[in-house]
């Protein structure tokens, strides 16, 4: 994600996986577009004002319509 320089933003760790990939891997198949590693939870750092904005930013990059599921959004220690 792009860094922001304003002081009203914080870093959030967003845990995310892809449900479609997870289902394919369980059936011993691979997803057509996404790597098998997306079956496992991955953590992405997002710079945002609050949790809602962090979720919105991640959803823009990893759309729920493509099978992505957010499992947690946690602010990092300053």
**Residue 3: what pLDDT?**
55
**Residue 8: what pLDDT?**
86
For 15-46, write each residue's pLDDT tens digit.
999 999 999 999 999 988 999 999 999 999 99
Residues 60, 39, 13: CA angle, nearest 5 degrees: 50
In-domain check, residue 65: yes
Strand 68-75 relative to strand 42-48: parallel, antiparallel, unpaired? unpaired
In-domain check, residue 62: yes
Please give the residue that has the higher pLDDT: either 77 or 21.
Answer: 21
In-domain check, residue 2: no
Bridge partners for 43 per DSSP: 15
Instruction: State the distance between the two ends of the chain, measured CA to CA, in whole angstroms.
Output: 18
Rounded CA-CA distance 74/29 in Å is 32
Q: How many domains does the chain contain in total? A: 1
Residue with tokens 């957010």: 70
Residues 35, 40, 46: CA angle, nearest 5 degrees: 90
Considering the entire predicted model, what is its pTM?
0.84
In-domain check, residue 49: yes
- Domain holding 40, by residue range, is 10-75
| Mean pLDDT (the chain, rounded) | 91
């Amino acid at each position: 994600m792009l860094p922001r320089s304003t002081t009203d933003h914080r870093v959030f760790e967003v845990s995310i996986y892809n449900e479609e990939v997870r289902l394919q891997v369980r059936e011993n198949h691979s997803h057509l577009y996404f790597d098998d590693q997306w079956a496992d939870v991955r953590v992405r750092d997002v710079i945002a004002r609050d949790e809602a904005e962090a979720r919105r930013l991640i959803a823009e990059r990893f759309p729920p319509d493509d099978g992505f599921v957010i499992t947690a959004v946690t602010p990092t220690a300053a």
